[in-house]
Amino acid sequence: MRDDGYDDYDMQHLYNVIDDVFPHSVELSRSVIGAIEQHAYGKGRERHGIGEFADQPINRIPDMLGSVGQGFLLGQAIKKIQESSRMGDEEAIRELEGAIVYLGTAIHRIRRV
């Protein structure tokens, strides 16, 4: 296990469980898990991973923006999607995983209301 709590064994176990539970959606499931992994242990944690998810900038900024907060999240996702088209494969994957995180947060915010 790394200092940041990341454990390769736990992640592989999670992938195996997902593969068993969603055998017809393996590729999609792995893409979504990759986005969560980036948020929890990658760029998202390095830049913004302060405390609980609800207290992180990805949630706090939309709160500050009030009725247009959801547009902020969707705009960030669109920006990342557009930027990915100018990148190499690995960079584009990381950028698109970031877009998934913004979209997932937008869904979370709709569900919590």
Q: Give the global pTM.
A: 0.83
pLDDT tens column, 47-105: 766 677 888 888 889 999 988 999 999 999 999 999 999 999 999 999 999 999 999 99
CA–CA separation, 96 vs 9, rounded Å? Answer: 25
Write down the pLDDT at residue 83.
97
Q: Are 87 and 96 in contact (CB under 8 A)?
A: no
User: Beta-carbon neighbour count of residue 97 at 10 Å?
Assistant: 23
Q: How big is the CA angle at 111 (ends 108 and 113), to the nearest 5 degrees? A: 110
Gyration radius (Cα) of the chain, Å: 15
